[in-house]
């Protein structure tokens, strides 16, 4: 597939979401690398999102996953000293509502502080679990839709104070064995990449 020309915020979010779907299918199939099938999933979803024939899944799906995961840190898997963490920090404009909250241990919560979640994970040289990225992308899309930013040029958002960093949305994902869908109770810090 030819390199995608991404100019608008909407395209950036959709491209990241399509890459997420590609990675998710590879994990589901227990693949060690991405193949033609995965790239076809990405291409079809990106095209469908752009032309409006497909949609991102609702945040309700993520809420179900949050409930099923239980009370563990979504970043390291710890069950100790849990707190609620705002995916989009309140100090950056994130809302204090259920969609923006996940469990985090006090160590991770304190380390992240008011930093952008993806920026913080990049600093730690770790890649977020795919279900957390999915929630992040949906929150980003929702925020941009509500603030009429979807059709803006990506560069226009770089100068704005927002609860997320548009330039950090993941468009390249590590190989499937280096990814995790969700942090489970048996996941340790060493298993997260």
What is d(CA 59, CA 103) in angstroms, rounded to the nearest whole number? 16
What DSSP character marks residue 99? G
pTM score: 0.90
Q: Would you give per-residue pLDDT tens digits along the chain (193 residues)?
A: 456 689 999 999 999 999 999 999 999 999 999 999 999 999 999 999 999 999 998 888 777 777 777 789 999 999 999 999 999 999 989 999 989 999 999 999 999 999 999 999 999 999 999 999 999 999 999 999 999 999 999 999 988 999 999 999 999 999 999 999 888 644 333 333 2
Our CA dihedral for 59, 41, 128, 89, rounded to 10 degrees, sits at: -40
* 118 contacts: CB under 8 Å, gap ≥ 6: 128, 133, 136, 164, 165, 168, 169, 170
Burial state string for 58-75 with b = 16 or more CB within 10 A and e = fewer than 16: ebeebeeebeebeebbbb
Asked if residues 135 and 164 have their Cβ atoms less than 8 Å apart, the reply is no
């Amino acid at each position: 597939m030819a390199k995608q020309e991404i100019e608008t915020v909407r395209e950036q979010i959709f491209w990241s979401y399509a890459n997420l779907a590609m990675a998710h299918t590879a994990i589901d199939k227990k693949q060690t690398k991405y193949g033609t099938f995965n790239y076809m999933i990405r291409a079809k979803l990106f095209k469908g999102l752009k032309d409006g024939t497909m949609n991102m899944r609702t945040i309700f799906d993520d809420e179900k996953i949050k409930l099923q995961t239980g009370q563990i840190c979504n970043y390291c898997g710890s069950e100790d000293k849990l707190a609620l963490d705002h995916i989009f920090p309140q100090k950056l404009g994130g809302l204090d509502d259920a969609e923006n909250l996940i469990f985090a241990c006090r160590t991770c919560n304190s380390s992240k502080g008011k930093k952008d979640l993806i920026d913080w994970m990049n600093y730690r040289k770790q890649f977020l679990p795919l279900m957390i990225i999915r929630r992040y992308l949906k929150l980003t899309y929702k925020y941009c839709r509500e603030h009429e930013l979807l059709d803006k040029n990506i560069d226009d958002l770089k100068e704005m104070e927002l609860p997320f960093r548009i330039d950090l949305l993941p468009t390249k994902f590590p190989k499937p064995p280096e990814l995790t869908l969700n942090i489970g109770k048996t996941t340790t810090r060493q298993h997260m990449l």
